[in-house]
Every structure is written in structure tokens, then in C-alpha cells.
Copies of this chain bind each other. A is one copy, B any other.
Amino acid sequence: MPKPSLRIDLPRLLPILDWGKRYDRIDLSGDMTAAVIVTIMLIPQSLAYALLAGLPAEVGLYASILPLVAYAIFGTSRALAVGPVAVISLMSASALAPLGIDSVSEFIAAAGVLALLSGVMLVAMGALRLGVVANLLSHPVIAGFITASGILIAVSQLKHILGIPAQGHNLPEILSSLGQGITHLNPWTLATGLAALGFLVWVRRHMADVLHRRLGLSKGAAGTAARVGPVFAVIGTILLSWGANLPGLGVAVVGEVPTGLPPLGLPTIDWALIPALIGPAALITIIGYVESVSVAQTLAAKRRQKIDPNQELKALGAANIASAMSGGYSVTGGFARSVVNFDAGARTPAAGAFTAIGLTFAALYLTPLLYFLPKATLAATIIIAVLSLVDLKILKTAWTYSKADFAAVLSTIMLTLLVGVETGVAAGVMVSLLLFVWKTSRPHVAEVGQVPGTQHFRNIHRHQVLTDPRVVTLRIDESLYFANARRMEDMILARVHDGRDDIEHVVLMCSAVNEIDLSALESLEEINQRLSDMGVKLHLSEVKGPVMDRLKRSHLLDALTGQVFLSQNEAFEALIQQPS
């Protein structure tokens, strides 16, 4: 017998070992091209998202370096680009605001602790294979949350465009704050902001077209190149701001950004903050994971590749821990940048590592050039980016298809806008769960009969079917469990009561009963007893294997006054032939 050996599946733990050994020149050229384009796109974005999170701009750059390297080592997606993203930045701001931290360095440390917590949670979930908890977020809840967050973010950026102070973490707070500050409106800031916005809208609508038709770029290349449009807005407004001395006119600029890289190491941990950060960190963890894994799956499917959800948890965890240890904040896989990375030809996670090199260069040498960059330009970048997240069509789709889904979307959107991101997403999950329980607590019970000439049984109210007054067959369209056990009891007994004295047999057709829990078992025993008192026999048909296995371990089958039939047809044929 061979000696058992402790084998660790290294290529599974470190996907880099898998793709790394087959890495070739074609991969290198694709990854390099993608990295250059993503770097140019990420510079303004990472600065802007850091400001959105309430952090100094350079923190966004730091969060776009080591996390990318960590993901390149541990990640399973060939195209995912991680870094600061809009929704997570907003959630981070919303988590840190109630702590009431005044010192900038302490605020940065707290953001790092938040990323660290979330990183540890992600790794733990990966180790425990708990990726499945992400399933608690239904599509409508995610869609509603992303839409509402997009609106909140866009509105929160208006203060930079208008040049007035404003704050708040929900729509009423931000709007009333903007209203109070409107008298301080700075026309130069507004002009800069509107110019940047106008340019970015033009870039988004027409630049690809211009590059394709006038400059002869291929359609794909033109589309990808147009994605770096914001960098021209950055360069243009820096030059304008410097030339016209906009800061002297009261236009807020990014100002002094420290050159160089932050020291490596854990952020200063203020243990007193941990209890207040656990909840928000958990929400950031789940939202970040869901957003990232959806993007990764979409892109993997396009190239018939696969991703491993549990490994993705560990990779995102590693990216967040790396961010926390290098002066950054919470990160995840972003939709826009991943699509650009994919379209620009990224073939392996090495593209992310090359992007990290580009951003290191930016952090080391470009930060002095950012002094004159108007904050209004960054706000315009954010507004354009997040408006593409806003999709109110989900309300109409949900309304048409199912009122329960509509209720979940609507409550998620309304609570996110009116109360805040954490309440919104928590309410969405709770509403979805409670509606599911509510729906299953009102089981659909159909009385069925035989479709003539077949062995098939359908609803007597929807189909022309054969029945027998002595035999009532009820098909229960739901698993039987505590939330609906008593209701089912009432429904069945009421039906028999209405049928007066003709009824001799009740057959429960269990083709749709996927489970019978202990509460429902007790209800079935009760039904059997009550029917027996009325002189009516209770039969079961089409009980599924796993359900039957469990019933055999109970007393129900001993007490049952009738039989258990394999098929409904057998039950019907046998019972109608019995003499009264």
C-alpha cells in the first residue's frame, strides 16, 4: 500500500503557478498593452474614488498598487482588474463617518483597518467555502443597490462641481446641505466642472466614433482608447488651472500630494473602533465580493474560461490585506476597468502586476503635477462613471414580472437613498428573505384530476379532467415546513369539510413537496387523525426519494390510515375501483 502523503494542491492555492509556467511572448504583449491603457485610466479614477471615500487623493494610488500584485498571485480570473471602486468607496465613507475622527492620519488608519477586517473576512469565507452567502443577495437587490448608490454618489459630487461645502450620507442630508451652501457657489469652479462634464460626455458619446472614422483606428481599439478620455480632461484642466491661476479664484484643487510610497506594515489599529467597523466591513465584504465575482464570471464566460469562487474570495482578501498594509483602503474588482483590461487584450493576471508598476511610477513621479488638478474635474469623472451604473429599468422589469421582486428592489433603492447604503442593502436582504418565507407560507394547493386518456393529473380549474366524488386529490405546490404547516392543515380540513359525506379518500400528491420538516410532520399526523375521526382515509402519492427516506424514520407511516402510492395514477386507479 502506498504511504499516504500530505499533498497540497499548490497550483490551486496559487493560480500564478499554473498560468505562470506557460507564460509566453504573446501573453506578454497582450498584458503590456492592457496595462498601459488601464494605468492611464486608473490614475484619475483612483484619485477621484479616494476623495469620494473622504480620503486624501494619494491613498487611491496606493490602493491601486500592491492589491493588484496580490490579486495577480492569487486570483483565478484572467481579466479582472482590482482597485478602488465607486460603490465600495461610498460604503467606506459611510462606515467611517460615524466614528467622528478629525485627524487625517487617524482617518487613513481607520480606512486601512476597515480594509484589513474585510480582507480577513474574505480569506476566512474562502477557507470555509462560504462563497454561497453571496447568494443571499438577489439580482433585484443588487441592481437596486447599485442604482441607488450611483445616484447617491453623483449627487454627493455636485458639491465639487458647484464649489460649495456639503456633506451627508443620504439624499435628504446631501440635498439640504447643498441647499444651505448654495449662496457660496463659486462660478469659476462651476465653469471648470461643467467644462469637464461636457468634455467627458462628448468623449463617452462621440470619441470612439471620431477615432474610428477620422483617424482610422479599428472599432475595438477606438472604443478602448476612448475609455482613457478622462485623462485628457485631467491634463486639460491642470493646464487651465495653472495658466489661469484658478486656485487664486477660489477653485479647489488637489494641492500638495506627497511623493513616494507609504511604508509597508499594518495600519495603526485602534481596537476601540473594531466593534463599530465589524458590521460595515461585513457588508463591504459581501457587496465587494458579489460585484467582483459577477464581473469575473461574465468575462470568463466570454473566453470559455472558469473562475473558482472560493479562490476568488481568498484573492480579494489578499488584495484588501495588501491594501491595508500599504497605506490603501478597501478594494475590489471593478466593472469598467476590467472590461477595458479585457478589451485591451489582457491575457493573464500579469496585466494587473504591470498596471501596478505603472501606478508606482505615477505615485513616485507624477504627484507634483497633480497640484493644480481641480477637484471639480475628478468629481466630473466620478459622475460620468457612476451614471452608467444607474438603471431604473429594473423597477419596470420587476414590476411586470413579480410584485415581490419589485418590493425588494423598491425598498432597497428607497432605503439606500433616504437612509444610507448600509440600511439599504441590509433591508434588501431582509425583505427578500421575508418575502420568500411569506410566499412559501401560503402554499398553492391545487385539486387535480386525470387528463383523459393519460396518466397525467392537472388542476381541475384549469383543465378538463376526470374526477371521482369519493376521492379528493390535492397537489401541494410547496415544501412543507414550519411557516406553512398549520395553514396546510387548515386548507386540507376545510376542503374535506366542504365536501360533506361523499368523500372517502384524500390523496396528497407530493410531487412538488421537496421537504417535510418536523413541524409539518406533526401537522400531517394531526390531519391523519382528524380525517380518521371523520371516516376519511389519507393517502400519499409521488413522495420523492429523500422525503420518503425521512418519513420512514417517523411514526407517520405506521399511523397512516391509507397507503403511499408511487404514482398519482396508481393511487387514482386503485381508489376509484374500491367499493364504497
A76 CB to closest chain B CB, in angstroms?
A: 15
Q: Is there an interface contact between A402 and B518, defined as CB atoms closer than 8 Å?
A: yes
- A401 on the B face (CB < 8 A): yes
- Give CA–CA (A523, B479) in the complex, Å: 22
Interface string of A127-169 (1 = CB under 8 A from B): 0000010011111110000000000000000000000000000
Question: Contact: A517 with B138, CB < 8 Å?
Answer: yes
Of A348-356, A429-437, A465-473, the stretch lying at the interface with chain B is A429-437
Q: Distance (Å) between the CB of A67 and the closest chain B CB?
A: 26
Using a CB-CB cutoff of 8 Å, which residues 479-497 of chain A contact chain B?
Answer: 479, 481-487
Whether, in the assembled complex, A545 has its beta carbon less than 8 Å from a beta carbon of chain B, the answer is yes
Question: Quick check: is A103 within 8 A (CB to CB) of the other chain?
Answer: no
Within 8 A of B (CB), among A371-388: none
CB pair A518–B444 under 8 Å, yes or no, is no
Any chain B CB within 8 A of the CB of A362?
no
Q: Is there contact, CB below 8 Å, between B437 and A433?
A: yes
Contact of A515 among B136, B433, B439, B567 (CB under 8 A): B439
Asked if A135 contacts B478 (CB within 8 A), the reply is: no
Distance of A159 from chain B, by nearest CB (Å)? 34
Looking at A136, A402, A443, A517, the one whose CB has the most chain B CB atoms below 10 A away is: A517
Question: Which of B139, B455, B482 lies in contact with A522, CB distance below 8 A?
Answer: B139
A477-B514 in contact (CB<8A):
yes
A310 proximal to B (CB < 8 A): no
A287 to chain B: closest CB distance in Å?
15
* Smallest beta-carbon distance A38→chain B, Å: 27
Beta-carbon contact of B569 and A517 below 8 Å: no
A560 at the binding interface (Cβ < 8 Å): no
A554→B454 contact, CB < 8 A: no
When distances are taken between beta carbons in the complex, the residues of chain B under 8 Å from A456 are: 455, 566-567, 569
A534-549 residues at the B interface, CB under 8 angstroms: 544-546
| A138 to B550 CA separation, bound complex (whole angstroms) | 18
| Residue pair A436, B439 in contact (C-beta under 8 Å) | no
Q: What string of 1s and 0s marks CB contacts (under 8 Å) between A437-469 and chain B?
A: 101110110100001001110110010000000
Chain B nearest CB, measured from A243 CB (Å)? 51
Which single member of B301, B401, B439, B518 contacts A550 (CB below 8 Å)?
B401
CB of A423 within 8 Å of the partner chain: no
The smallest beta-carbon distance between A113 and chain B, in angstroms, is: 28
Question: Does A511 have its Cβ within 8 Å of any Cβ on chain B?
Answer: yes
A405 CB–B CB distance under 8 Å: yes
Cα-based distance from A567 to B433 in the complex (angstroms):
32
Does A553 have its Cβ within 8 Å of any Cβ on chain B? yes
| B residues in contact with A439, CB < 8 Å | 515
Contact of A398 among B518, B566, B569 (CB under 8 A): B518
Q: How far is the CA of A484 from the CA of B405 in the complex (A)?
A: 15
**How many Å lie between the Cα of A133 and that of B63 in the bound state?**
47
Q: Which listed residue, B139, B462, B479, B511, touches A518 by the CB 8 Å rule?
A: B139
Residues of chain B within 8 A of A444, CB atoms compared: 514, 544, 546
Which one, B138, B397, B512, contacts A482 given CB within 8 A? B138
A278 within 8 A of B: no
Q: Are B517 and A441 in contact (CB under 8 A)?
A: no
| A432 to B517 alpha-carbon distance, docked (Å) | 11
Q: Does chain B have a CB within 8 A of A426?
A: no
A282 at the interface (CB under 8 A from B): no
A515 contact set on B, CB distance < 8 A: 439
Q: A444-B514, A569-B454 are in contact. Are A401 and B554 (CB under 8 A)?
A: yes
B136, B141, B441, B553: the one within 8 Å of A135 (CB): B441
Tell me the minimal C-beta distance from A567 to chain B in angstroms: 5
Q: Which A residues form the contact surface with B (CB < 8 A)?
A: 132, 135-141, 301, 397-398, 400-402, 404-405, 432-433, 436-437, 439-441, 443-444, 446, 451, 454-456, 458-459, 462, 477-479, 481-487, 511-515, 517-519, 521-522, 530, 544-546, 550, 553-554, 566-567, 569
Q: Other CB < 8 Å A-B pairs besides A135-B483, A401-B554, A436-B437, 18 of them?
A: A132-B441, A136-B437, A139-B518, A139-B522, A401-B553, A402-B517, A433-B437, A440-B479, A444-B546, A451-B567, A454-B455, A454-B569, A455-B455, A455-B456, A456-B566, A477-B546, A511-B512, A512-B513
A–B complex contacts, Cβ < 8 Å, 26 sampled? A132-B441, A135-B483, A135-B484, A135-B487, A138-B481, A138-B482, A139-B522, A141-B482, A301-B530, A400-B554, A402-B517, A405-B518, A433-B433, A433-B437, A436-B481, A439-B515, A443-B514, A444-B544, A444-B546, A454-B567, A455-B455, A456-B569, A462-B545, A477-B514, A478-B479, A511-B512
